[in-house]
Structures are given as C-alpha cells and as structure tokens.
Amino acid sequence: MKRINILAKVWIVVALLNTGCNSLIDMKPLNEISDANYWTTPDQFKLAANEFYTYLRTFTDIMADGPHSETRADFTYQRDGANLFSNGNNTVPLTDGNWNYSRVRNVNYLLEKAGSYSAPDDIKTYVAEARFFRAYLYFDLLQQFGGVPIIEKPLTVSSAELSAPRNTRDQVADFILSDLDAAIAVLPAESAIAAADKGRISKEAAQSFLSRVALYEGTWQQNRGNSSRANTLLDKAIAASSAVITGNQFSLFAPAALGDSAQKYLFILEDQTSNPAGITKSSNKEYILKNRYDFALRQIRFNITKTVVGNVFVVTKKLADSYLSQDGLPIEKSPLFKGYSGTTTEFQNRDNRMRYNLLQDGQTFWTNNAPRVSWKGDAADIASGQKWNGATGSGYANQKWGTERKLSDQEEAYDYPVIRYAEVLLNYAEAVYERNGSISNADLDKSLNLVRNRVNKTMPKLSNELVGANGLNMRTEIRRERNIELYFEGFRRDDLIRWKTAETEMKQDILGITWKGTAFETRWPGIGAQVVNNVYRLETNRKWADKNYLLPIPSQQIQLNPNLEQNPGW
C-alpha cells in the first residue's frame, strides 16, 4: 500500500448531520471503508489511525471562539466586542459541537477491529495511538463538562448506553489516565521513530500529556478540598513530567544565532526564510507533539497574522503588568520599573518575553503584507515594515504568532505546538510545589528556571531565597511563569478554572493602557470617557458564578437522554 503522508488528511468527509440525532451515535466512522476488505493489514490500521491526527488542537482553537480560546479568558480581548463566556453571560445552548462523540466513536471503531485482528503485535502501535487519542478527546470533554458518559465501543440505536447516566468526574479522569498508561507502555520512544514516521505519537508525547491531565485534575481536586485524590494525581504528574525531563529527548529552542529573539521566532518557524538566522523547523527540538503544516503541502488556511498582530486581538493591562522586571521582582516591588509616564516606559527593564510577545508604541514591526526584506533590521527592513501606533485597541498589542515573511493571507505554515517542552518543565515545577507545599531550588533549576532564563540570561533565578527576601509567594511566582510562557496558547482559561481563581480574576474589569497624565491623553482623546483611575477601561460589569466552572450540557442531549443530569447551576 502506498504510504500516505501524515501531513495530509486521508479522507475528506462531508457529513450531513441530523440535529435530532444523539451525538453518541450520530456519525459513521471516518475510517470505515468496507469491512469486507478492510482491517486486514497493519498498513490499513495505520491509515485509519492517521485520521486521528486531524483531531489535534490547532490555531483556530485559540483564535476563534471555542472552549480553549484566548478570547474566553482575560489576557486578550477582541476589539469587536465582549465574549459571553469571558464575562459570564453564556447560556444553555440547544446544541453544542463540543459535546461531540463522533471522534470517540471513530477511535472505538479501530479498537474494536483491533480486538479481532489475528496478529495483534503487528498493530500494537496503532492501537496505542488510538488509546492516546481517546484520552485526548475525553480530557477535552472533562475540562468542559466534568463527568460525561464513558463509551468504549461503537454504539447502535439500541445500545443501552444511550440512556445511561453520566459517569462521575473521577471515573472519567481515571479512564483517561488508564488509556494513557496503556499507550505509554507500548508507544515507541521519540528516538526510535523512523524518519518517515516523525510526527507520530511518541512515548514522551503521551507522558507529557499525562502530566498535563494529572496536573489539571490534581489541582482541580486540591482547590476543591479533596487533598487525598489530589496528591495521588500530582504524584502522577511529577512522575510523568520527570520521565520526559530525564529522557533528554527534547530541549528548549534557544539557538545562539537568534539570541533573545528565539522567543518570537520559535512560533513562526518555516522551512522558508522566516527568521534572521535562516533557521528551519528541523532545529526546533521543543515541540514534543505538533499539528504539522507545510507551505507546499498543507497551509494553515486561517488568516493568522492579520488576526493577531495589533488587529482583532488586543492585550490587556493584566498581562502587561504580569511581566517581571529584570531583577526578578514584580513591578510593584521592583526599583527598576519605570512606571507609565511615557508610552513605552513600562517596557523598560522588563522580562524580555514582554517585548517579543507585545508591540511597543512606535516600534517597527513586520507582517506578511509588510515583510522583512534583508532580515538584518537595516534600512531596507525598516522601510518595508510598519510603525505600531499604540493609540488604538487597548493600547497594548500582540505580535506572537505573526509571521515576518512575505505571504499572501492564510498561507502561513508554521507548526502548532500541541505540547511543547516548556510546558512539561512548568508542569513539573507546579506539581512538585502543589504536592509538597514547597519546592527546592534544585527542582526549580531543572525545570522552571530553564524557561525563565532562556531569554533572560541575567535575571535572577526563582529561588526560595528570592521569595523569602522580597516577601513573594512561591505559588504566585510559579503561576506567573506559566502565564507568561504559555500566553496565547490556550491555557489561561483552563488554568483559572483548575486553580479556582476565576471567581476573582474573571470578574475584574478589562483594562488597557494608563491614559491620564501620559502622551496618550492628547494623542487619543476619544477614550477619555472610558478612563477610570487614570486607566482605559474596555469592559466592566463582568461576572462569574460557580456554575461557570463547567459548561452546560446542551439541552437537546438531555431531551434525548433524560438520565443526563445538567451541570449545577444551569
């Protein structure tokens, strides 16, 4: 059988769904061709498993409105209006595409066929991949809805499971972890995956994802008073992330040729010239699992650069104020902080990630329509670029994910990091601290400080001494590093939910730049009526209730199965 490149979708399926169908059975498996002549060779199982890779999260999941979208949190804000999920005004929907079992059914179908295959060792890797993806899909359901029905086989219209109640949250979490444990036991190490198969799920990818799941659920339980279960889960998160770290298969992207700008170019690497050093995707050992794109074979086909660079998405003051000063201290404690008197003074002496994630007033920047020419930052480059006018949006602008190379709209083709090594390092540090109530300097140095100092070579490490001498809180600083490093990657809302701090953070006004007493006051007079306590206020009267920690089950699903109980408060 001819090898199918994993970059390409294997099948193009148009499904006309009846909105009255139960989502547990509403779709024929994408990989069902004909049981009479299929499922007879390992290559056929591999081909079927290829479809699951299209389920991986990608750019639209964080930039369009969805359960993990940045617009549903508080670090970014859409210029065209408030988000109902962000300000606590969403309601119970009739249907919701995120209550979706069609993909689970596809995975279960492969697993069912594998159960009767005559040579199970020949297909064990694809069975392990299927179990990884089932865990991946169920974790998404768990994050959104809590306890959901666990379905382990393809259903028919007469299956008893269609009228079964929801499984408990603990049962779903344990099911996810069981699938991941089974996958880890079989999947090949990254170093053992053949060149032609690079991009497939590795043992380390499954371990990394397990660390994400166990940390999420462990802190969810801990912050809701269930310390015994939390500790068990946090132990799993520590063990899984530690295994990836000690395995030494991945590393942070920090080529000397890019210096601190590695923080920007990591996210827009293409095999065409896309950074001043001409570094290509092969140099990126940080992405443990990625949704892969290629300029010739599979472009993203979403207008990323125009969407995120100072346009649809703007940045809030809360994120801008989160960046440390170069002495490793928060701005309210640091003598290095220059304040807000000028339009760029707050950027001075700050964590270098701030200037690579955000745009400063008057800064030259490049996009696909105003690209770099020489890649040297010289006169030709500057003439081709644009100057950012800070007197727009919130006054803070994003540049993360924006290409600097010449492209037509929607032709970007950088990979999406489903899991990257920086997250694993941060997972480890947080899990250790939350499990023990403390963390040693040695554990910080082998994890969080590698991330912190990647582009901040002179910034003091996070240490117990730094925390103690400056009246800091270790948990706050560990969470700060996560917020800054994983900004705009679909984590913020989920983190606030598992930490149970959304009830405080999400109620706060959405704020922009300091306006009163700065040059913005004369340059941008039109927002004066929205200035409160000297600061531009974009949105107020936000709310968050306990019910918002979970999404409501679509009402149609409860009509179809009355044994499904609605989430509390809805």
Instruction: Give residue 24's pLDDT.
Output: 56
Name the average pLDDT for the chain. 93
Phi/psi for 355 (5° steps) reads -80, -15
Of 484, 439, 431, 496, residue with least CA distance to 462: 439
Convert the pLDDT of each residue in 444-464 to its tens digit.
999 999 999 999 999 999 999
d(CA 116, CA 570): 43
Instruction: Give residue 311's pLDDT.
Output: 81
Phi/psi for 78 (5° steps) reads -85, 130
- Mean pLDDT check: name the lowest of 22-36, 78-92, 242-256, 307-321: 22-36
Q: What percent of the chain has pLDDT over 70?
A: 94
Secondary structure (DSSP) of 393-431: TTS-EE-TT---S---TT---PPEEEEEHHHHHHHHHHH
Is the pLDDT at 171 greater than 90? The verdict is yes
Convert the pLDDT of each residue in 389-445 to its tens digit.
999 999 999 999 999 999 999 999 999 999 999 999 999 999 999 999 999 999 999
Report residue 22's pLDDT band, with 50, 70 and 90 as the boundaries.
low
Is the pLDDT at 161 greater than 80? The verdict is yes
Instruction: Give residue 35's pLDDT.
Output: 72
Is the pLDDT at 341 greater than 70? The verdict is yes
Instruction: Give residue 371's pLDDT.
Output: 98
Report residue 23's pLDDT band, with 50, 70 and 90 as the boundaries.
low
Report residue 10's pLDDT band, with 50, 70 and 90 as the boundaries.
very low
Name the CA radius of gyration of the chain, rounded. Answer: 24
Residue ranges per structural domain of the chain: 42-247, 259-285+293-414
CATH code for the part of the protein at 42-247: 1.25.40.390
Instruction: Give residue 31's pLDDT.
Output: 47
Per-residue DSSP letter, 294: B
- Mean pLDDT check: name the lowest of 123-132, 157-166, 238-247: 157-166
Report residue 81's pLDDT band, with 50, 70 and 90 as the boundaries.
confident
pLDDT (mean) for 65-89: 94
d(CA 199, CA 288): 9
Report residue 486's pLDDT band, with 50, 70 and 90 as the boundaries.
very high
- Mean pLDDT check: name the lowest of 20-24, 219-223, 349-353, 552-556: 20-24
Is the pLDDT at 11 greater than 60? The verdict is no
Convert the pLDDT of each residue in 195-211 to its tens digit.
999 999 999 999 999 99
Report residue 79's pLDDT band, with 50, 70 and 90 as the boundaries.
confident
Instruction: Give residue 384's pLDDT.
Output: 98
Instruction: Give residue 13's pLDDT.
Output: 31
User: In a 3-state reduction of DSSP, which class is residue 280?
Assistant: coil
Place of tokens 């400056």: 470
Convert the pLDDT of each residue in 277-291 to its tens digit.
999 999 999 999 999
Is the pLDDT at 5 greater than 50? The verdict is no
